[in-house]
Amino acid sequence: MPPLDELPNAYLALERENAGLRDEVLDLKRQLEWLRRQVFGAGRSETFDRQQLLLRLQDIEEKIDQAGQSGRQRISYERQAPGPQKRASPSQLYEKLPVKETVIIDPEEVKATPEDFERIGQESTFEVEITPPQLYKREIIRPKYRKINDREHPPVVAAAPNRPVAGGHASAGLLAWVAVAKYLDHIPLFRQERMFARQGVPIPRASLCEWIRIASEWLEPIYRRMHAGLIAGDYLQADETPIKCHDPDAGKGAVSQGYLWLISRPGADVVFDWRLSRRHGELTTLLSDFKGVLQSDAYAAYAEHASKHPAVVNVGCWAHARRRFVDAQKEDPHAVRVVLRLIGRLYQLEHQWDHADVDVGRQREPLERAQLRQHHFARSLKWLHALALSLRNKHRPKSGLGEASGYLLAQWPTLTRHIQHGQTRLDNNLVENAVRPTKLGLKNWLFVGHPGAGQRCAILYSIIVSYQCPDAIRLFMRGRECELKGWDEHYRD
């Protein structure tokens, strides 16, 4: 036991040690909660024994509980219960399907003495049938002619039509089917190879790869027009996502990191662009000649691009800021609840204005929406900023709330620029949702096969994600086929 005159200092040292241990326990709990969501959340891969991992996580929880005793409180709240979901009847569910009638054989007694019966009506039911995809040959016949009175004249025959695959036999529809199967249905080419083999047509995988290349080249003019249409506007949402890339030049089995950058805006196309790095300069190429509002997350490339281009204004994403407080809500439930309520108020107002626009049948001009935001957002933003300052001073920087409040304050200039630009959405969720098909595909085809194939992937994803309709891809391919054959009257923008 220390001397009496040293007790105050010893007590303070123990207090500091206790506070440090308490912060460490909270940090471990936050990491554990994050790990549990990552492992057991929806959409995660199941390549391990979940029960065994859960037991290990429970052991970690027990050790954390033993490391420090923290106060606990029971929090309850009320919410509006969701109403009963109305399910569609079978007749409504399948009403858009084409009908192939099948007449049921008459009853035996009617067949025996048909003259004794007359038909007074019918009863009908239905079952849903499927026709599996099936390859078939479309034979193109070109008649040959010769002059009747001039046998010396060489025979006359129409020129062979141009084909998507020079010297090949794959139609535009087949190329579209292969592309849609890979990038919309997430079926890798090696599985498609097996599917065709089951039909008795062993199409080599190398041919399928070549068809993907040709399809992307055919659709590139449409892709360029989509990109030009976005750049011509005054508002863009941007994001980027990593994609592994097999690089044979770097050695056998070498895999490097590539990136799909994407831009979009509400109600418009989504354009992907393939780059081998995440350098800030890559964004300059993608956004060449763009002037307007650029919405993004906190990645520094976007802010740097805006700083170098005076005609570009960078605005932030409120969903990213909100998400960090949701992740840290166990550290201070009451404070987080207030923060979420203040952010929710901004979304509530936006929702009300959107519905009002629908009711009156017109969309507010950006200037009018900006004026509404300046008037109605002011109080919530003032309280939110003050609360974030308080939380940052109260919690250590590496804690969940410390990081959340620090992120909010660091992004405050970009987040509050929404009140000056009425054409923006409060968050970047629309363009982030466009990334999901690439992640689902990545789980199946694992990586891009070659650095040069990345842009083909970007072109096909741009059109498939933008239209979300296999028929649109086939229509574009047919249109390009008509253009190649000289049938310009059948090809429209």
Work out the pLDDT band at 476, boundaries 50, 70, 90.
low
DSSP structure string for 132-168: ------------EE--SS-TTSPPEEPPPPP-SSTT-
> According to DSSP H, which parts of 113-254 are helical?
172-183, 189-198, 205-231
Mean pLDDT lowest for which of 73-82, 298-307, 381-390?
Answer: 73-82
pLDDT of 261 over the 80 cut? yes
- What distance in Å separates the CA atoms of residue 50 and residue 27, rounded to the nearest whole number? 24
Do 222 and 483 form a contact (C-beta atoms < 8 A)?
A: no
Summarize the confidence of residues 26-55 as an average pLDDT: 61
Which pLDDT score, from 0 to 100, does residue 477 have? 64
Do 471 and 231 form a contact (C-beta atoms < 8 A)?
A: no
Summarize the confidence of residues 401-417 as an average pLDDT: 94
pLDDT of 312 over the 90 cut? yes
pLDDT of 245 over the 90 cut? no
- Return the higher-pLDDT residue of 308 and 279: 308
Mean pLDDT lowest for which of 34-48, 239-253, 346-360?
Answer: 34-48
- Return the higher-pLDDT residue of 493 and 209: 209
pLDDT of 75 over the 60 cut? no
Which pLDDT score, from 0 to 100, does residue 47 have? 44
Mean pLDDT lowest for which of 70-84, 99-113, 123-137, 328-342?
Answer: 70-84
Written as one letter, the residue type at 474 is R
- Return the higher-pLDDT residue of 36 and 232: 232
Any idea where the domains of the chain sit in the sequence?
Answer: 318-427
Do 328 and 27 form a contact (C-beta atoms < 8 A)?
A: no
> According to DSSP H, which parts of 330-397 are helical?
333-360, 366-376, 378-394
Do 292 and 232 form a contact (C-beta atoms < 8 A)?
A: no
Which pLDDT score, from 0 to 100, does residue 44 have? 47
Longest dimension (CA), the chain: 131
- What distance in Å separates the CA atoms of residue 380 and residue 346, rounded to the nearest whole number? 8
Tokens of 153: 């004249």
pLDDT of 86 over the 80 cut? no
Summarize the confidence of residues 243-261 as an average pLDDT: 80
Quick one: which of 286, 303, 284, 304 has its CA closest to 295? 303
Mean pLDDT lowest for which of 18-22, 144-148, 196-200, 327-331?
Answer: 18-22
CA distances from 47 to 31, 50, 391, 446 (A): 22, 9, 39, 15
Q: What is the dihedral of CA 367, 373, 378, 380, to 10 degrees?
A: -160
- Return the higher-pLDDT residue of 33 and 309: 309
Quick one: which of 105, 99, 209 has its CA closest to 165? 209
Do 394 and 425 form a contact (C-beta atoms < 8 A)?
A: no
Summarize the confidence of residues 269-284 as an average pLDDT: 88
**What is the tens place of the pLDDT at every residue in 135-179?**
888 888 989 999 888 888 899 998 887 777 777 888 888 888 899
Work out the pLDDT band at 10, boundaries 50, 70, 90.
low
- Return the higher-pLDDT residue of 106 and 75: 106
Mean pLDDT lowest for which of 142-156, 210-224, 477-491?
Answer: 477-491
pTM: 0.75
Which pLDDT score, from 0 to 100, does residue 487 have? 37
Tokens of 212: 């993907």
**What is the tens place of the pLDDT at every residue in 420-431?**
999 999 999 999
Which pLDDT score, from 0 to 100, does residue 311 have? 94
Summarize the confidence of residues 457-471 as an average pLDDT: 83
Which pLDDT score, from 0 to 100, does residue 480 have? 56
Q: Which 3 state secondary structure label does DSSP give 435?
A: coil
Which pLDDT score, from 0 to 100, does residue 127 have? 84
Mean pLDDT of the chain: 82
Which pLDDT score, from 0 to 100, does residue 232 have? 93
Summarize the confidence of residues 36-48 as an average pLDDT: 56
Query: Which percentage of the chain shows pLDDT scores above 90?
Result: 37
Which pLDDT score, from 0 to 100, does residue 491 have? 37
